[in-house]
Amino acid sequence: MRRRRRGGGRALAAGAALRCARLRWAPLGSAAGPALPAAAPGSGSGSSRRRRRRRRRRKSSTMAVEEEGLRVFQSVRIKIGEAKNLPTYPGPNKMRDCYCTVNLDQEEVFRTKIVEKSLCPFYGEDFYCEIPRTFRHLSFYIFDRDVFRRDSIIGKVAIQKEDLQKYHNRDTWFQLQHVDADSEVQGKVHLELRLSEVITDTGVVCHKLATRVLECQGLPIVNGQCDPYATVTLAGPSRSEAKKTKVKKKTNNPHFDEVFYFEVTRPSSYNKKSHFDIEDVDEVDKMEIRVDLWNASNLKFGDEFLGELRLPLKFLRQSSSYEAWYFLQPRDNGNKSLKPDDLGSLRLNVVYTEDHVFSSDYYSPLRDLLLKSADVEPVSASAAHILGEVCREKQEAAIPLVRLFLHYGRIVPFISAIANAEVKRTQDPNTIFRGNSLTSKCIDETMKLAGMHYLQVTLKPIIDEICQVHKPCEIDPVKLKDGENLENNRENLRQYVDRIFTVITKSGVSCPTVMCDIFFSLRESAAKRFQGDLDVRYTAVSSFIFLRFFAPAILSPNLFQLTPHHPDPQTSRTLTLISKTIQTLGSLSKSKSANFKESYMATFYDYFNEQKYADAVKNFLDLISSSGRRDHKSIEQPILLKEGFMIKRAQGRKRFGMKNFKKRWFRLTNHEFTYQKSKGDHPLCSIPIENILAVERLEEESFKMKNMFQVIQPERRVLYIQANNCVEAKDWIDILTKVSQCNKKRLTVYHPSAYLNGHWLCCKATADNTPGCTPCTGGLPANIQLDIDGDRETERIYSLFNLYMPKLEKMQEACGSKSVYDGPEEEEYSTFIIDDPKETYKTLKLIIEGVGTLEQEHAQYKRDKFKKTKYGSQEHPIGDKSFQTYIRQQSEISAHSI
């Protein structure tokens, strides 16, 4: 169906002589209304569309190959502070009930709580998200809630993606801007334009423009729906001609593939020298093609504007055909916006991160260097510790380090090594782990990641109740509201504290294994360093589990995903009082009243000034900081975890002994599980913790007895035990599972029934050493599977090293200075911890080499991408300001290198 003609040849069809000038697809039909093959019925339009789709698919697959080996991740962390000086409500009250939303372009991704009756609302909310798509603006809208009508928009802050780095990680006040429906635009459109000379039946020439609207992507969804259509208008000083596509229902990525034809110049005598007649050139230069996108609405207010595109025709004088993607733009309707000061302002802190991640092998040298950190002596000479030294804030280094070490199962030895080094530098046991060091930040981050489920199980039910019930708990006489009773408030608060304290101290068996292993290491290091202080083994652990985990989670439950938003002021005050009390209870300090500056808090604490609370804290700390691994060099003493009478079945250790059931006193410590005839007697049997391979329930049919469980040991020996009730059975199973969970030879399968009369009742296997037939339950959700990308975390660490390269070089100088001069330390180097200058220098050299290699890879990738990328492609539409900036930078770099 397609034909090319060279020179001035003419083809006659249906009585019309057509001359096609530099066209890839030839117009067919009459002079009054030429049509393209894609739109001409019966002219192979279906096969043409299929060919075009195949070309598009081939193009997209080619892009995937070009991007192969590099993944791009985007994330944003936002602190929404407060708004101020919002315009008053036009009514007698004048106050507003406001909330703030976070939007990617126009798509809402987060909403704060509503702050009632205020023109200066304080939100104090944090939001973090991975951004799964491209975007042009990060926008913030302030809404005024209306009970009877749709909430009204007061104003917005829209930050272009390329400008986000200007405000990186610093509090900034932004003026609210006026919101106009015609300016709310997102998405892109794919157009193809053809300008052709057409010779009519009478032999005269006119110029026709073919505009093909192929597709759109990323249009906004308006009021829950998007039924888009496009209008195409050819406009000039003295004319305007518009045409419309079909409406595409329920899609914000419509495929139109419709072609529209416009007569650009009037027929005149044919002139080979120019596309345009001399007298019409000025008029053509003033003409433009405009494409408007609309959402077909059923509402009486009419269709909603989605965006527009304006293209002057004069750019087609250089080329008669043009195809490209374009970003849609706001409509310029001449409306004057309000002054910025009229709408107030919003305080924000935005941290936007974009990671370009290569395939795993690129990161091997740097990653291996980091993962060896736990084995480096001294640990201050390791790559991970050096990262903490050069970063401006320890938190910056802790987040990617913890995630990387968690991913590769090395977090416990790493934290143990840096904690042990910090303890050695600590002079006073009362200040142990109290600073914002790399150790404390890494443990904080580990608890947040691994302990999220633990917090949900432990605190969420009662936190939800406190937020919903709103019991008055104010105990400061000065802050009491009218009608409140101080004693009633104290009793309400006491009950809440008692309940939270109880659920925390009873939750030891639910504490994740990785946290327990870290606490065991902290406890051991502190006890070795301060052997004269018997309480330091408790304070070393409580400074994290109470002061940095439970107390902050109670104080700000939204930061720990326990509530969706920051609580209202009354609830927040209640949680503050509870958090203070729990923190003091967990601290085990000798002078409790001295911890409170407020006299009313000291008076309230008298309720809890009993030994039973201190004992409960110590028992809880003992449990979560115990380890099932026997270390004979350890100074840790056996800790009693649980004891009581139960009934056990004889294990058949004697060849001809009776396998009957007997009542015994069972005792569990962090070292062994034993039983004896009576409390205080010599143990009849002792099972080391490392020999407990599984603890599982036993089916009732085995011995026709309820509440039974089994403790499986090496060589398939099994101890069958009956507890007094179902609750006790669960407690024993939980705590036995907990202390044995780190055993390396734990079983993955077991027999849920007993071996009796020569076979297993569950699977009927005859050999008593047959492997189990049922998967082990795995006990508690102690090891939460974390979705961590090790390569991405290594890329983040590389970015930090690259950012702080001047400090790395300065640290190298400090190592050289220390090695050569054994004198007083220079002041400019005193900020670095350097215990072994030679080892530290070696590590720094490897870091700088690894970072330099990765920097070269990134630079080469950018150069290659710059050569391959086409402006106007689907990935970089015309109007992409960030790409324009990138092109300008690359051009400057190329010119500089030349």
- CA-to-CA distance for 593 and 549, rounded, in angstroms? 22
The Cα–Cα gap between 554 and 123 comes to 18
What are 100's strand-pairing partners?
142
Share of the chain above pLDDT 90, in %: 37
Task: Give the model's pLDDT for residue 28.
Answer: 30
CATH topology of domain 188-269+278-327: Immunoglobulin-like (2.60.40)
| pLDDT for the residue 94 | 84
Given a cut of 90, is residue 362 above it in pLDDT? yes
Cis, peptide link before residue 461, omega less than 30° from 0: no
Least confident of 31-40, 92-101, 418-427: 31-40
pLDDT tens track for 380-416: 999 999 999 999 889 999 999 999 999 998 999 999 9
pLDDT band for position 784 (50/70/90)?
A: very low
Whether 476 has a pLDDT exceeding 70, the answer reads yes
Residues in the chain, total: 898
Q: Are 538 and 436 in contact (CB under 8 A)?
A: no
Instruction: Tell me the pLDDT tens digit for each residue of 190-239.
Output: 999 888 777 767 767 777 888 999 999 888 877 777 889 999 998 887 77
Mean pLDDT of 436-464: 91
Confidence check: pLDDT of 34 > 70? no
**CATH superfamily placement of domain 438-625:** GTPase Activation - p120gap; domain 1 (1.10.506.10)
Summarised one tens digit per residue, pLDDT across range 225-284 is 788 999 999 888 777 889 999 999 888 889 999 999 888 776 554 444 444 443 455 566
69 pLDDT higher than 50: yes
**Topology match between the domains 188-269+278-327 and 640-775:** no
**Chain mean pLDDT for the chain:** 80
- Report whether pLDDT(320) > 80: no
Residues 6+ apart with CB under 8 A from 545: 447, 515, 519, 586, 621, 624
Answer yes or no: is pLDDT of 550 > 90: yes
Instruction: Taking residues 453-480, report their average pLDDT.
Output: 91
pLDDT of residue 820: 57
Task: Write the class of the CATH domain 640-775.
Answer: mainly beta
First to last CA, the chain: 49
Q: Is pLDDT above 60 for 20?
A: no
| Inter-residue contact 694 to 743 (CB < 8 Å) | no
What residue ranges do the domains of the chain occupy? 65-178+343-349, 188-269+278-327, 438-625, 640-775, 795-821+829-881
pLDDT score of 172: 94
Residues 194 and 320: beta-carbon distance below 8 Å = yes
Question: What does CATH list as the number for 65-178+343-349?
Answer: 2.60.40.150
Q: Tokens standing for 581? A: 């009390």
Global model pTM greater than 0.85: no
Predicted local distance difference test score (pLDDT) of residue 821: 55
| Residue-wise pLDDT tens digits, 637-692 | 577 788 899 999 876 555 444 568 899 999 998 789 999 999 889 999 999 998 99
Distance CA(801)–CA(797), nearest Å, equals: 6
CA angle 249, 251, 254 (to 5 degrees): 90
- Can you tell me the mean pLDDT for 461-490? 91
Question: What is the band of 27 on the pLDDT scale with cuts at 50, 70, 90?
Answer: very low
Amino acid at 97: D
- Residue 280's pLDDT is what? 54
Over residues 478-507, mean pLDDT: 92
For the chain, percent of residues with pLDDT exceeding 70:
80
Q: Is the pLDDT of residue 50 over 60?
A: no
